[in-house]
Amino acid sequence: MAKSPGQRLGSQAERAAERELRRQGYRIVARNVHVAGGEIDLVALEGNTVCFVEVRSRAAGDPGSALESVGSAKRRQLTKLARAFLHQRGLESAPARFDVVAVVPDPTGGYRVSITADAFPAQGRYA
């Protein structure tokens, strides 16, 4: 089945995010991880910290920041997914955090990528 323009942009944004994360020293350990009824875009290691990465593609001129686009419901969902991922792998005691990567197409045909490390704390009842 052919991807929609939005799906193509999302895939390209995830690849651009992954390249920038690697360039900055992250080690990508999983992509598009399905757990607990949802999906984590990227899971990476920075040192011994497990980083759950939410990739947000933004058109130039979109109002608000990529971080602002990750609302409280999405943060709760990502927390649930991260806990399930860590539990499945026996990593409950590993240091972990949530990073948000903004990917914006630039006029040259490339992308501007910015990483917000430790973008928000775990959310929900068990935070």
127 in a structural domain: no
Q: Give tens-digit pLDDT for 63-97.
A: 567 778 899 999 999 999 999 999 999 999 999 99
Residue-level pLDDT at 127: 45
Tell me the pTM: 0.89
Residue 89: which CATH number?
Answer: 3.40.1350.10
125 in a structural domain: no
Residue-level pLDDT at 61: 62
What's the domain count of the chain? 1
95 in a structural domain: yes
Q: Which domain does 57 fall in, by range? A: 5-120
- Provide DSSP, the chain: -PPPHHHHHHHHHHHHHHHHHHHTT-EEEEEEEEETTEEEEEEEEETTEEEEEEEEE--TT-SS-TTTTS-HHHHHHHHHHHHHHHHHTT-TTS-EEEEEEEEEE-TTSSEEEEEEEEEE---STT-
126 in a structural domain: no
33 in a structural domain: yes
Backbone φ/ψ region at 6: left (φ over 0), alpha (ψ -120 to 50), beta = alpha
